[in-house]
Amino acid sequence: MNKDKRLKKRHAREKRLKFYGITSICIALMMLFTLLSSITLNGYTAMQQAYIPLKIIVPGEKLLNSDGEVDAQKALLFNWDSKVKKAFRTNFPEVKSRSDKKELNRLISSNSGYDVKQFFIKNVDAFDNERVIWITASDDVDQYLKGRFNTNISEEDRRLTNKQLNWIDRMRSEGLVKLKFNKNFFTSADSREPESSGILGAVVGSALTMFVTVLLSLPLAVMASIYLEYFAKPSRLTDFIEVNINNLAAVPSIVFGLLGLSLFLSFFGLPRSVPLVGGMVLALMTIPTVIIATRASIRAVPPSIKDAALGLGASKMQAAFHHVVPLAMPGILTGTIIGIAQALGESAPLLMIGMVAFIIDVPSSFTSPATALPVQIFMWADSAERAFYERSSLAIMFLVVFLIMVNLVAVILRRKFEKKW
């Protein structure tokens, strides 16, 4: 009788445990789903951008020089903005008054003059003929067309007047404004106007920074691990070092930023906001993680392999590098990639060393001013324009996808190199 009761109790306990487990997983999945769907809902619209087809004729004689190329000085002096605005207003012949014209002008992007200039510089045979150039609409038009514009608030507090809204509706029905693929997002750096802004600058900045991080952290961490594991004699000092390494891996990342600020920027006087310094700060942060992963992988290699090599007359270095390290590679690589993925998503340390500046150029070297993708996301999310918010969400999706890919690469590499011993 007693045995049955105990059995029943045990079964009930197991059932409850299973239930708790499944419930926790469900809650976690739900939260994940909520996060991903909210980001996606906010961000997917940024894949598109409102463009306006502009019919424009620009006579070449004012701008071309004797070689048949656009003269830089003349291009600078030419009033592209007014040409573009005039061309745009030909669609609305009924608009006469000055204030109305001003309102109409606000429907196109303020950078469109610059964009058209760039177009003509690149396509010199486009002069003198009527061309249709797709220019970006202003961000308010863009948001309105995407349905993110709140028309319920009173006209004085809105960014678009009713007149403007009518014009936009008319343009939409006449095909004078269309939502097309937002190529600026992927090909431009940051800009004051959302419609001209993109993540290319931040992506290149992140890439350059990551490159510096890997270059610094991987060799240093692997060498340090091998030394600690094989060559250092166990003593109080090595114990102390080990404890500190483990603790460093848990230090909040912003502390590394403060360290970078005081050491690299103030003491060494390195330029702020450059990938070189960003990479150095992130390397400091990544090295403990990689050391821990490397040591674990090295320890996981059976000592019999090392003994076999030593027994054959290999030196400690030979045994370590010919046999142990290659076998520990999967673990080392995984640790490194995870460390990098972590660093990729860090913004706090980079904020501290100033990579929060507004950079409109794609960085060209390790010492040119740059920003990183997480920082870019932070800056966009913080800004007033609605259009930046949706771009921020799209950038987050981009970053998440990239992180997933990096982790997948880690898994694949690990599987590929796993050898049976």
Partner 1 sequence: MKNKFETENVVVHYGTKIAIDNISLNIEANNITSLIGPSGCGKSTFLRCLNRMNDTIDGCSVSGKLLLDNEDIYSDEIDPVDLRAKVGMVFQKPNPFPKSIFENIAYGPKIHGLAKSKAELNDIVLQSLERAGLIDEVRDRLHDSATGLSGGQQQRICIARAIAVNPEVILMDEPCSALDPIATAVIEELLDQLSKDFTIVIVTHSMAQAARVSTKTAFFHLGKLVEFGETQKIFTNPEEEKTQNYITGRIG
Half-sphere exposure of 260 (CA within 13 A, CB side): 28
- Smallest gap from Cβ 320 to partner 1, in A, equals 12
Q: Which is nearer to partner 1, 269 or 313 (CB)?
A: 313
Binding residues with partner 1: total (CB under 8 A): 22
The single residue among 311, 404, 408, 412 that binds partner 1, judged by CB under 8 A, is 311
Contact status: 238 vs partner 1 (CB under 8 A): no
CA 47 to each of CA 175, 182, 264, 390: distance values in angstroms, whole numbers, following the listed order: 20, 5, 39, 9
The single residue among 323, 366, 383, 407 that binds partner 1, judged by CB under 8 A, is 323
Contact status: 381 vs partner 1 (CB under 8 A): no
Contact status: 313 vs partner 1 (CB under 8 A): yes
**Residue 137 near residue 51 (C-beta atoms within 8 A):** yes
Contact status: 413 vs partner 1 (CB under 8 A): no
Q: What angle do CA 259, 205, 280 make, to 5 degrees?
A: 25
Q: Which stretch binds partner 1 (CB under 8 A): 32-40, 176-184, 317-325, 371-379?
A: 317-325
Q: Which stretch binds partner 1 (CB under 8 A): 12-20, 155-163, 314-322, 349-357?
A: 314-322
Contact status: 314 vs partner 1 (CB under 8 A): yes
Contact status: 304 vs partner 1 (CB under 8 A): yes
* Dihedral sign, Cα of residue 402, residue 403, residue 409, residue 411: negative
Contact status: 308 vs partner 1 (CB under 8 A): yes
- Smallest gap from Cβ 305 to partner 1, in A, equals 6
The single residue among 309, 320, 350, 355 that binds partner 1, judged by CB under 8 A, is 309
Q: Which stretch binds partner 1 (CB under 8 A): 155-163, 273-281, 316-324, 349-357?
A: 316-324
Binders of partner 1 among 283-302, rule CB under 8 A?
Answer: 302
The single residue among 150, 151, 318, 364 that binds partner 1, judged by CB under 8 A, is 318
Binders of partner 1 among 215-234, rule CB under 8 A?
Answer: 233-234
Contact status: 147 vs partner 1 (CB under 8 A): no
**Cα(116)–Cα(134) distance, integer angstroms:** 9
Binders of partner 1 among 33-72, rule CB under 8 A?
Answer: none
Footprint on this chain of partner 1 (rule: CB under 8 A): 233-234, 302, 304-305, 307-316, 318, 322-323, 327, 419-421
